[in-house]
Structures are given as C-alpha cells and as structure tokens.
Homo-oligomer: A and B are copies of this chain.
C-alpha cells in the first residue's frame, strides 16, 4: 500500500464544493472516480480543506491509499486524462503512510479577490466579489493589522464546523490594490469554518465605513459572530497553498 499526496488546482464554479453531497457534483467524487479509472480501486481521498461551492483552489492538497504500480510521480498525468478540464492534478508523490492532508498540515494560504467598481465584470464574475460601493483601502489595511497573531477567532466562524478550539495564529494578512481589484492574502496555521470569508466580509464593512478599523480588537474579543461582518461571497476565495 502506498500513500499518495496530490496537489490540485480547480475552478469551483460548477461544483457543489469539495465534499460529496447528495445534490450536486463534488470535486471529491469527480477526482475519486478518475482515480478509480486509473487504479481499478475504490478510493477515498482526504483533503486539507473542504472548500465550499464556488470556491477555487490553486494548491489544494489531498491524499489517498493505493496499491497501484503506476510510478507515484506519473499518477497525476494518468488521473488528469480522466478529469474534466476544470480540475487538474498539478503533481503527485509518495508520502509516509501516516501523512494526513488535514492533520499533518502546518498552515494554509488563501487569497480573496474583491472587484471594487460600479459595474460588474464579465471576466471576473466567477473569481471575485463585486462591491459597487467605494471602499476606503487605507482603513481596510489599518483594520487588517489587528488580525495578525494568535487570537480566539470565534467571532469569525460559521456554525456547522466540527473543529475543536477556536484559537488560530494569522501570520500574514496583506491587502493589495491594483486599479479596481483589491486582493487579500491571508496565511495562518489553520482556519475556522468560513473564517477567511468572514474576515473579508468584515474588512469590506470597514472599507464602507460601517465598522471602524479600531473596532476590530473589540470584535475579536467579543467572540460573537454577530459583531463581525457578513460572510463574503464564495467565488472571491481561492485556496492558494497548504504548508506541511
């Protein structure tokens, strides 16, 4: 038995999310079916993150067990030949049997893209959140600093998550404005359910002037989901990289 780690890029637009669901096609089952065609084995793959419907990935990581004799580095090419073109396995390699995509992860990097102009975009509609009100980027950057470091992020967590403990460490939170695009990059040792989208939604409220930058520490301390901003739309989110 070999444990194979794969790195995956996908366009989440057409899918009901990573995880298998009764209604809709999931990324997980699409990849599992392709692996089955390569190896002849029923497979269950474990991912680092169960991304929601519409969320994208440039570097999702998953692993699965196989007794296939295809060389581990070549398995990605074989799987790709059975995948639709909005899911691509970027690489494959053998890892120790105790490697677990989720539990072995030391951190993750996400990006969140905001289109800040009056008129929506034909080209970015599936890859950004459209905010037609002018956002104050200086305030957003000022607010973003308060998220850095170790905090209890209960105020930035949707219910429905089964994870224990709400303390996480944000190592990097950067906002970059390029014409009418605002891109947020966020890196942490782990994320609570919807945490990136709620932080993005809160920073958008700051940009609109509805939350003051200096209110962020109080929102964090409150541990009250209702004090933070709304969950920003799924299509702006992209899982960039998983660290081990």
Q: Could you tell me which A residues sit within 8 Å of B by CB distance?
A: 9-11, 56, 58, 76, 80, 85-91, 119-123, 125, 127
Q: Which of B56, B91, B120, B127 contacts A88 (CB 8 A)?
A: B120
- CB contacts (< 8 Å) of A88 on chain B: these are 119-122
- Closest partner residue, chain B, to A85 (CB atom): B125
- Number of chain copies forming the complex: 2
Contacts beyond the supplied A9-B122, A11-B125, A90-B119: 7 A-B pairs with Cβ under 8 Å: A9-B121, A76-B119, A80-B119, A85-B120, A86-B122, A88-B122, A91-B119
Q: Complex: how many Å from CA A120 to CA B58?
A: 12
- CB contacts (< 8 Å) of A125 on chain B: these are 11, 85-86
The winner among A76, A80, A122, A123 for most chain B CB atoms within 10 A is A122
- CB contacts (< 8 Å) of A80 on chain B: these are 119-120
- CB contacts (< 8 Å) of A86 on chain B: these are 122, 125
Q: 5 A-B contacts, Cβ less than 8 Å apart? A: A11-B122, A80-B119, A88-B119, A88-B121, A123-B127
* Nearest CB of B to A241, in Å: 13
